[in-house]
Amino acid sequence: MECEFNHNTTNGVGFNGERNIAINNTANYNDSAGFNIAANMFLIGNHAEGNGGAGAALNTDQSFFFRNLIKENATGGFLLAANSKNNLFFQDHITENGGVGTELTNSDANRIIQGKAKKNAGDGIALRTGSTGNIIDNNEIEDNDGVGLRFDAGADNNAARGNELDDDNIINNGLNNVIDGNDID
């Protein structure tokens, strides 16, 4: 079922608990986040645009995000809170957000695969202190105002492979990160 969660004075929609599924919904122009997720989640083909917070504020484990369009949100695209782990982001398009496209904070063992991080006001993808064991593979990262891919000090033991960075670069302040086969123009 497709639903619209638009123009709310808080979040567009929130999920809390086990085994939630949201397919082909919109959460646009809400005062806070489009999607506020503190649950196990399948978020597939959704659209979050123009929200006053993040496109999707996440505090979740073992969730799957697929082909979502997250654009023009005030504070960023996908923002993962501390201790979010074992999530898969596959073919999501994160563009023109007011902050970082996708930000992992103290989050472990997440995968960001074949996505697009373009024209965000902050970094395209940022791994903050305490984020370990994450894999960033085969993404298109382009023309972000910060850097394309950032590993802060304390973001250790991660991997970034086969990413295409156009008008962007990689900054690695972490330890033991594998950065291999990325095409930087």
As a whole number of angstroms, the distance between CA 150 and CA 170 comes to: 6
The pLDDT of residue 175 is above 90: yes
pLDDT tens-digit series, residues 22-31: 999 999 999 9
Q: Which residues pair with 76 in a beta bridge?
A: 54, 100
pLDDT band with cut points at 50, 70 and 90 for residue 17: confident
pLDDT tens-digit series, residues 99-139: 999 999 999 999 999 999 999 999 999 999 999 999 999 99
pLDDT at 162: 98
Domain map (residue ranges) of the chain: 60-184
Tokens of 176: 């033991």
Q: Which residues pair with 44 in a beta bridge?
A: 23, 66
Cβ neighbours of residue 140 closer than 8 Å, sequence gap 6 or more: 115, 116, 117, 118, 163, 164, 166
Residues 151/129, Cβ–Cβ less than 8 Å: no
The pLDDT of residue 13 is above 90: yes
Classified as helix, coil or strand, 17 is strand
Q: Residues of the chain with pLDDT > 70: what percent?
A: 99
pLDDT at 18: 87
pLDDT at 182: 98
Residues 42/68, Cβ–Cβ less than 8 Å: no
Phi, psi values for residue 182, rounded to 5°: -85, 140
Tokens of 35: 């999607």
The pLDDT of residue 1 is above 70: no
pLDDT tens-digit series, residues 64-94: 999 999 999 999 999 999 889 999 999 999 9
pLDDT tens-digit series, residues 113-122: 999 999 999 9
Give the CA count within 13 Å in the CB-facing half-sphere of 180. Answer: 6
Residues 117/139, Cβ–Cβ less than 8 Å: yes
pLDDT tens-digit series, residues 133-159: 999 999 999 999 999 999 999 999 999
Of 128, 75, 80, 65, residue with least CA distance to 97: 75
Tokens of 157: 């033991």
Tokens of 181: 């086969």
